Amino acid sequence: MSLTELYKTRIVLFQTKADRLQQKEGQLSLARLVFFLLAFLVFFSVRAASLPLALVGSLVCIFIFGVLIKQYTKTEMQKEYYRHLLEINTLELKSLSGDSSGFVDGREFIDHDHPNSYDLDLFGQASVFQFINRTSSLPGAVKLARWLMSPAETGEIAMRQKAIEELKPEIDWRQHLMTLGHFTRHTLNNPAELLSWLQENNEFRKIRLLRTTVFCLVALGLTVTSLVISGMPVVIMLPVLLINFVFYFSQGRKINRLHRQVTKSAGVMQSYAAIIESIEKKEFDTGKLKSLQLNFRSRPAASAAIRRLSKLVNRLDTRLNIMISIPLNLFFFWDIHVCLSLERWKTEHAGDIDRWLETMAEFEVVNSIANMAFNNPDWIMPEIVPGYFTFSAVNMGHPLIPANRRIHNDFEITGDGRIVIITGSNMSGKSTFLRTCGVNTVLALAGAPVCATILKVSHVQVHSSMRITDSLEDNTSSFYAELKRLATIIKRAEQDPQVLLLLDEILRGTNSNDRYTGSVALIRQLAGYGAVALVATHDLKLAEMEKEMYGSLDNYHFDVKVDGEELYFDFKLTPGVCTSLNASILMKKMGIRMQ
């Protein structure tokens, strides 16, 4: 069965299950109404004959009503679960055809100053992040961004590869994990304030005295209430309620501050608890997944502890309902009890929560990359080779180009101080090829599969200068911005030449003579440092440096086929220098008269 057929089958399956649960939900809703009305009907129709019988009959109807409410809630959750699975598989089906717009794009991680992420489209619309991302938590999204922006150590890469290979075929479990997070994807999904609260000192001090005072005031209130019920005048409650109000008010500032930090996080924590519980129950084979799972093996289990936190936050959120909050706090000091329980939870687990969320995030990232591997079964795990420098690829393509439009190329370069000049006409594929090399290297060093049949690559840092823009805010021209970028690249190559440099149209913002002179000087300097650089250019004169730097500089090109006034691109990388140009034909098509 093809991937397209698989996802279509799953879509039909989950749609059917959701529809059946929708019907069941409607039946339960009707049954609830029937038994609610029946409780009144039984009471009023039977009380004349027997009041006890009427009460028993009504209570039975109310009990059944409560059971139906519970069953309705359970059915609704199951229906939403299958609807989320339906949505996930629909999005995956669209993603197979090249449309990943339904997934979060990570635009908040765009960094123009990062060595390569902006040039390689790692973040933003139609980005590598959006293509991979199946995380549902903010910690998971942050972790994925870090994996893409920072190469892992060689040993860590190998462990990630094994973990991804283990989860790759586990589509049911992987989508179950995604679905658990799907429930809160439209709500506040940032635990920052909650985590900040966990690092702060407790609001409430002298806990024993506070508990004793609360106990005494509650006992006094209940005693006076009992006296009023037994016949004493209601007025005797007023002093007690006034004392309770003053005492609660004296603690109000602390309660409000704590509540502001934890409020509305109950749903997110409940979702995190469900995700972690699913991880706790799963049996894993690879060392990385087992070691990560051990971070949740505590007493109580991480999922139980986080679920307890969610319940406590939910209880404190009841103060938002004034009709419930006023009596609960005037008689029982509900908010104080919950706040003390929250701070006790913080004392017990503040040192664990960061580790739990980091571990959960790492599982989400591995899950996301395993999903990418599943959707692209012809991709392979690359080999990270020791030494500097090796880049050997067979049938390598750009991961973001749909398979039916993707062109693959073979490419190999070995040894340090190597420069590759890539010439070609406009739109022939030079820039795309640089990005193809860069993105696949980034994926390889993140531990992910790559779009190739074979890829062997050294452990390097990718630096690029490809997409340069000016900045009105910084009063910076595009030429000056490029010079700053190149200065950063030169400094890095000088300090640590074990880099892969991707340079597209060097010094494009100046005149042709200065551009050529500066480009030659830069290429010589980078080669002198021992760095490896791929340079895409329209300037055919740069290709002549092959005579001067024989053995250190290689020429490749992308050609264009011309048939009369029509252009045809095959996007195939070919050794040698480009000899065909297409600018004049393109200008004619735009209406520019060529003399």
In 191-227, which positions are buried (b, 16+ CB within 10 angstroms) versus exposed (e)? Answer: beebbebbeeebbbeeeeebeeebeebeeebeebbee
pLDDT in the model for residue 320? 83
Strand partners, 535: 421, 503
pLDDT in the model for residue 221? 87
268 CB burial (10 A radius; 0-12, 13-18, 19+): buried
Query: What's the one-letter identity of residue 550?
Result: Y
**134-204+251-373 and 383-589 in the same fold:** no
pLDDT in the model for residue 361? 95
The answer to whether the CB of 388 falls within 8 A of the CB of 460 is yes
For domain 134-204+251-373, which CATH number applies: 1.25.10, 1.10.3210, 3.40.50, 1.10.1420? 1.10.1420
**Can the peptide bond before residue 300 be classed as cis, meaning omega within 30 degrees of 0?**
yes
pLDDT in the model for residue 538? 84
562 in helix, strand or coil?
A: strand
Beta carbons within 10 angstroms of residue 246's beta carbon: 9
pLDDT in the model for residue 222? 87
pTM for this model (two decimals): 0.88
DSSP category for residue 382: -
CATH number of 383-589: 3.40.50.300
3-state SS of 284-340? Answer: CCCHHHHHHHHCCCCCCCHHHHHHHHHHHHHHHHHHHCHHHHHHHHHHHCHHHHHHH
Strand partners, 471: 476
pLDDT in the model for residue 564? 62
pLDDT in the model for residue 595? 58
**Can the peptide bond before residue 389 be classed as cis, meaning omega within 30 degrees of 0?**
yes
- For the chain, the domains span 1-97, 134-204+251-373, 383-589
User: In whole angstroms, what is the distance from residue 467 CA to residue 120 CA?
Assistant: 9
**Among candidate residues 382, 467, 535, the one with its CA nearest the CA of residue 127:** 467
Beta carbons within 10 angstroms of residue 587's beta carbon: 12
**Among candidate residues 465, 470, 472, 447, the one with its CA nearest the CA of residue 457:** 447
Per-position pLDDT tens, the chain of length 595: 899 999 999 999 999 999 999 999 999 999 999 999 998 888 888 888 888 888 888 999 999 999 999 999 999 999 999 999 999 999 999 999 899 999 999 999 999 889 999 999 999 999 999 999 999 888 999 999 999 999 999 999 999 999 999 999 999 999 999 998 876 654 446 777 788 888 888 888 788 888 889 899 889 888 888 888 887 888 888 888 899 899 988 898 999 989 988 887 888 888 899 999 999 999 999 999 999 999 998 778 999 999 999 999 999 988 888 888 888 888 889 999 999 999 999 999 988 999 999 999 999 999 999 999 999 999 999 999 999 999 999 999 999 999 989 999 999 999 998 999 999 877 788 999 999 999 999 999 999 999 999 999 999 999 999 886 544 344 456 777 778 888 889 988 888 888 999 999 888 767 778 888 888 999 999 999 999 999 999 888 888 888 888 888 999 998 877 666 666 778 889 898 887 666 566 566 556 665 5
